[in-house]
Structure formats: C-alpha cells, structure tokens
Amino acid sequence: MTEFDLNTDSVRALNQHLHDSPSGSLSVVNPGGRHCIASGIDASVAVSIDGHVGYYCAGMNKKAQVTITGNAGPGVAENIMSGSVRIKGSASQYAGASGQGGTLIIEGDASARCGISMKGVDIVVTGSVGHMSAFMGQKGRLVICGDAGDFLGDSLYEALIYVRGSVGELGADCVEKEMTADHVQSLKVLLASVGVDASAKDFRRYGSARKLYNFNIDHADDY
Amino acid sequence: MCGIVGIYLKNEDLNPELGGLLSAMLIEMSDRGPDSAGVALYRDPVPDSSGKLTLHVAGSYDWDALQTEMTAQLKADVKIEIHASHAVVIASTDVTSVQNWLKTEYPDLNIMSAGSAIEIYKEKGLPSEFVRQFKLHELNGTHALGHTRMATESAVTTEHSHPFSTGMDLCLVHNGSLSNHNRLRQQLRNEGVDIQTDNDSEVAAGYLMWRLREGDSLEEALDRALKDLDGFYTFAIGTKNGFAVLRDPVACKPAVMAETDEWVAMSSEFRAIAQLPGAANATIWEPSPATVYTWGH
C-alpha cells in the first residue's frame, strides 16, 4: 500500500498523486488538520486517513472511497459527486455541502449547515446535526440518527430528511410528512448499505411544504 | 478571516513552555492572519499592592528616563522590562493610579494592558516575525491567548491589532466582523468608555469593559453581548484565572476546542492545536453557537 506521511510529504504531492495515477489503496498518516487532503479525486481508489483533517477534505470526490479515522474540519466532502466518504469521528460545519451524488457517512456528530444545498448526495449521520442543516436541499437524503438543531430544512426543495431523535424549530417551509412503506424500505436499504445499525421504522420524515416555490403574497414574511 | 488561539495549562510543570507552545500555535495560524499578530500572556503575577502594565510606543524610547520619573513622582519601586516595541512596567503601588498618571503625563504611550498578571504584546507583520522580535517562545506563563489578523474593517497598525484590553487582567481577541460597531462605539463613548480606533473588535472589547464596570459578571456580560452585538464573531476572552469562548448564534466563524490532562486549548482550526503535545489523543469538540464556555483555576 502506498503511504503518504504529511509530516514529510506535502498535501500537494499527495493530491497530485491521487489525480495522476491512483490505484488500489493508499494511506495517509499525520494529517495534522491540514486543508484539502484527498480533494478532487476522480478514480476508484481507497484512501484511508489516520487522524484529524482540516477544511475541505475529500472535496469534489468522484468514485473514490475515502475513510477518515478522526474528525473533519469545515466543508468535508463538499460537492461530492460519487463514491463515499466516511468520517469515524465528528464533522464541522457544512459537511457534504452541495453534494451531487455518492454517500457521506459521519459516525459522530455534524455541526451547523450539514448538507446545505445538497443536490443528490446521501448523508447519514450517526449522531446529531447542528442548525440550518439541509438548508435549500434540492435532492438526496439526509439521515440523522440523533437530534437535529434549529431551522432544519429551511427553504427546502426536494431533498428528503429522516430524523430519529428530536428536532428543534423547523426551518421555513419544512414540514413533517408521512413515512410511507416505500420510504421505510428505501431508508432500510440505505442504512444497511452504510452499515448503520438502526431501524428505519424509528425515523420520521421531513420535506418541503412547497409553499415557497412560487411567490405568494400571503407568505411574503416567509421569503 | 483571522486566527485565534488559546491555551490554558492544567499541569504547572508546563508553565516554562507556555511561550513555546503558544508560538507554535500562532505561527500555524499565519495563513488566517498575516497582517499582524498579538498575544496576551498571563505570567508572574505581582502582589495585590503592586501593578503590572504593558506599554507600547512606536520607534525608540528612553525607558530609563520613564523609570526614573515614575519612581520619583509615584514614590514607588518601578521595574521596567523591555520586550521589542513594548515594555512591562511593574510598580509597587495601585495600578489604577499608575494608569491614570501615565494617561495624563505620558499621553503618547499606549497602555496595552493593566492588572497583576496580564502582559499584551502585538505588532504588525507575520506571526513568525512577531515571535522572533518578542522572543515569545522563551516566555513562561499559566495561560495565554493569541491572534493573527487579516484586516477587513480597518487599518493595519499596532493599535488596530488584537488582543484588546477590556479591563484589569482582561482582554479580548476576535475573529469575525461586527456590523453595528459605529453606533455602538458612539454609545460607549457617551458612557465614558475610552475607544481609540475605528476598529470593530475594539468596540466589542469596550462593550465588555462597560458591562463589567456596570457590575455584570463575565458570563452576564457575554450573555448580553449576544443581544447587543450584531455580526459574526468567535471571541476568546482572557481572564486572570483562565479564558472564555463565545460564538455568535449563526456560528459562521470556526472554533475548535481540545482538552487533555495537561492543557485546555482553543483555536480557529485544529491544525494549531495539533502543535501541542498529546493533541492526537485529546478530547476534541466544536463549541456550540451562542454558548459561553469558561475555563479557570
């Protein structure tokens, strides 16, 4: 296995290697909270990072399986396209922001704005998420096994939100919706696929009331 | 963007290394704030009957003459220790009277800090240059805050740099920007708070000074700040015995905290904390928005 030690190798050298000729698996040690580690990969490669990472780790990820054994700073897996990013610890704000596909698994907690403007990514958080999560979420699923902070799903489009714990104040135009058999089945498959031991039946579903889609003078205060 | 670092030593055996640990954290935050750097160190407290002040003046200065004059006029033992463009003055008399005397007799001297343990040093330029000039890595202490500044609201000068004194043994560093600082500055000046620059962070410091003067505890003053300060902020506030952290309710500005058996640390980013011994196995968490965190003896 190729190993990069970021105490001696630069992040630029690591990322250049990942952009040029990656294959099989690669390990990264001593990340030391550095920024942009393993960002912009477009290859079927497994990257395992041992330690805490800084901003924008695994950003724009395509095809790769990135595992972080530690915590992640702001913007982890930002704009993820496909593949998977798994964080064994907790993630800072705007994890998975604007993600278009693939899967982001956070085994600890995620802080504010998790999944902001998500566009197709599936995000599974084993712990809780902070305020303004899934803000303007357009597509994809945000699954929260713990609790959700205030203003969940504010100005939501068609992203689906599942929460097992408590929810703070809901964001504008976000409402609780019926959990149909189809939703339970699809969530069950997702949870199983990421290895999270939780019963899909215990979750509630939240989605858009679709009242902010078009301008309505009666809702002027909500815009 | 700016960088904030803070460290509080739980293990006194580390006190001689405080400056070294702080320097490593500060230099790691250079990308977040290359314009200026500053620190507040809490070290070598003087007895209650004495006072310690940090003074700054641009260019060379005859500190010996000041010492002679202070000794004669204040009828006190006065020691002056020079640190680059700053000097720490220890006088065997009431610190408030020394402060008032200096303001009247030496208006050209900037009083950076006053109290019994606090020393504030700040200067334009890169953090690494700051550490070298002030020999920061050689200084001991019990706890410290540091700031690397990327100016957004006002000019790059020593006076506009952080930390800002907020009263006896108190100081504030700020990452963010306040949007109601002009109106608030005027209100605080009307309340008699001395605000020297057009910097937004100095207004936050002045606000805390005012609230503490009015009898609020630090926690009460910070709770009230959540209502009265409009803008983005992560604040770290140094106190004689420890430090406090507060983020605004929206919490756009980053902050991370970590604790081991040896120390408690906070920073804008984990990579600064990663410089500390044992950081890999520290308990690490992100402070919640609109929540006051305090550490102290």
The ipTM is: 0.90
Across B156-292, the runs of DSSP E, i.e. the strands, are: 164-167, 170-178, 231-239, 242-247, 256-259, 263-267, 283-285
Taking a C-beta distance cutoff of 8 angstroms, is the pair A73, A34 a contact? no
Same domain, B146 and B283: yes
Residues B190 and B230 in one domain: yes
B61 in the same domain as B84? yes
- Residue B248, chain A, CB below 8 Å: the answer is no
Does the pLDDT at position A216 exceed 80?
no
B86-91: strand order across its sheet? B78-83, B86-91, B51-56, B110-115
User: Shortest CB distance from A73 goes to which of B251, B269, B289?
Assistant: B269
Residue B297 has pLDDT above 70, yes or no: no
* Cross-strand partners of B82: B87
Q: What is the pLDDT of residue A2?
A: 92
pLDDT at position A218: 75
List the one residue out of B226, B272, B217 whose CA is nearest residue B247. Answer: B226
* pLDDT reading at A220 higher than 80: no
Q: Is B180 exposed, middle or buried (0-12, 13-18, 19+ CB in 10 A)?
A: middle
Are residues A130 and B289, on separate chains, in Cβ contact within 8 Å?
A: yes
Q: Do A52 and B270 touch (CB under 8 A)?
A: yes
User: How are strands ordered across the β-sheet holding A160-163?
Assistant: A2-5, A25-29, A46-50, A65-69, A84-87, A103-106, A119-125, A139-144, A160-163, A204-208, A174-177
- Of the candidate ranges A49-58, B3-12, B196-205, the one whose mean pLDDT is the lowest: B196-205
Which whole number is the average pLDDT over A2-27?
95
Mean pLDDT computed over A55-68: 98
Q: Which domain holds residue B104?
A: 46-116
Predicted TM-score of the model (pTM) = 0.93
CATH number at residue B198: 3.60.20.10
Distance in angstroms (rounded) separating the CA atoms of residues A14 and A32: 14
Give the chain B residue nearest A131 (alpha carbons): B250
Interchain proximity A54–B271, CB inside 8 Å: yes
B2 is catalytic: yes
Total domains in chain B come to 2
pLDDT in tens, B80-135: 999 999 999 999 999 999 999 999 999 999 999 999 999 999 999 999 999 999 99
B80 touches chain A (CB under 8 A): no
Flag whether A222 is in a domain: no
Considering the domain architecture, whether residues B35 and B76 belong to the same structural domain is answered as: no
Percent of chain A with pLDDT over 70: 99
Claim to verify: residue B158 and residue B55 sit in the same structural domain: no
CATH code, B79: 3.30.70
Residue B296 has pLDDT above 90, yes or no: no
How many domains, in total, are found in chain A?
Answer: 1
Any domain includes A219: no
Res A223: pLDDT: 60
CATH number at residue A75: 2.160.20.60
What is the average pLDDT score of chain A? 96
**What's the confidence (pLDDT) of residue A222?**
65
Among B55, B86, B116, the domain-final residue is B116
Nearest one of B231, B222, B218, B215 to B290, comparing CA atoms: B222
Tell me, yes or no, whether B199 and B290 share the same domain: yes
The answer to whether position A160 is within a domain reads: yes
A33 and B270: CB-CB below 8 Å?
A: yes
Are residues B162 and B223 part of one domain? yes
Task: Give, for A189, the enclosing helix (H) or strand (E).
Answer: helix A181-193
Same domain, B204 and B68: no
Give yes or no: residues B86 and B168 share one domain: no
Contact A54 B285 (CB under 8 A): no
Please check whether residues B181 and B192 belong to one and the same domain.
yes
A67 pLDDT more than 90? yes
The string over B242-260, giving b where at least 16 C-beta atoms fall within 10 Å of a residue's C-beta and e elsewhere, is bbbbbbbeebbbbbbbbbb
B165 and B285 assigned to the same domain: yes
**Is A70 part of any domain?**
yes
Pick the closest to residue B225 from B172, B273, B268 (CA basis): B172
Q: Which residue does chain A place closest to B274, by CA atoms?
A: A32
Query: A74 is in which domain, residue-wise?
Result: 2-212
Rounded distance between C-alpha atoms, residue B98 and residue B93, angstroms: 7
Q: Note whether B55 and B89 are within 8 A (CB).
A: yes
Question: Taking 70 as the threshold, does the pLDDT of residue B275 lie above it?
Answer: yes
Rounded alpha-carbon distances, angstroms, from residue B178 to B152, B184, B189: 10, 10, 17
pLDDT at A212: 84
B258 close contact with A: CB closer than 8 A: no
Q: Sorting pLDDT into bands at 50, 70 and 90, what band is B1?
A: confident
Is A220 inside any structural domain? no
Which of B66, B94, B116 is the endpoint of a domain? B116
* Chain A stretch 110-169, residues whose beta carbon is closer than 8 A to a beta carbon of chain B: 111-112, 130-131
Same domain, yes or no: B190 and B132: yes
- Looking at B116, B133, B161, the residue that finishes a domain is B116
